[in-house]
Amino acid sequence: MRSTLPLLAFLLLFTACNKEDFAHENAYEKSYKAWLSFKAESNNAYTYTVTSASIFGFSSATAITVKNGVVTARTYVAKGRDTNGQLQTTFEYTEDAATLNTNERGGACITLDEVYAEAKKVYLVKKKDRVNYFETTNNGMISFVGQSVGSACVDDCVNGIRISTITKLN
């Protein structure tokens, strides 16, 4: 018993430190439960759209389609401003199951299960001089998760994932 006491103390200390290093834990857990409910209701078949934008007028949207828990399609549209300041499509593509990941641009071909895992393991880990973000405007599911890249940044200062929509497939 005596030899296991230091090990038990170490494990308790390690677990306590890890909990302190997880930002937005309660909001994440609540959102994860909403995701699991949606996943069951949709039979793990859905589309979600990842968006990005810059203060310089560039933006993009990537729609990821998942069926039976597997990414089956990805559609990407990039937009920018022309010389008159009008927003126009500058690049676009559609990939099906056979051509997934043949384009470098766009959101990653990952499921929402993978998005939640990445949120927990990467973006919600507390780090010195970083700010963690977590929002849930998609019926309680994740809409934005990210982490600041530093205080001297001017544009695009947060690494993360922004999801504008999550919808069931019919």
pLDDT tens figures, 133-143: 999 999 999 99
Give the separation between CA 49 and CA 33, rounded to whole angstroms: 20
pLDDT of residue 90: 96
Residue 50 lies in a domain: yes
Q: How many domains does the chain divide into?
A: 1
Q: Which domain holds residue 78?
A: 22-168
Beta bridge partners of 89: 79
Residue 7 lies in a domain: no
Residue 17 lies in a domain: no
Q: Which regions in the chain score pLDDT beneath 70?
A: 1-20, 151-155
Residue 10 lies in a domain: no
- Closest by CA to 61, choosing from 92, 87, 97, 95, is 92
CA 156 to chain CA mean position, Å: 16
Residue 61 lies in a domain: yes
Residue 6 lies in a domain: no
Contacts of 37 (CB under 8 A, 6+ apart): none
pLDDT of residue 158: 85
CA 115 to chain CA mean position, Å: 5
pLDDT of residue 41: 97
What pTM did the predictor assign? Answer: 0.83
pLDDT in tens, 15-27: 434 556 888 999 9
Query: Which CA distances in Å does 9 have to 37, 70, 87, 134, 137?
Result: 37, 42, 59, 32, 40
Length of the chain, in residues: 170
Residue 156 lies in a domain: yes
- Closest by CA to 139, choosing from 112, 104, 109, 100, is 112
Residue 1 lies in a domain: no
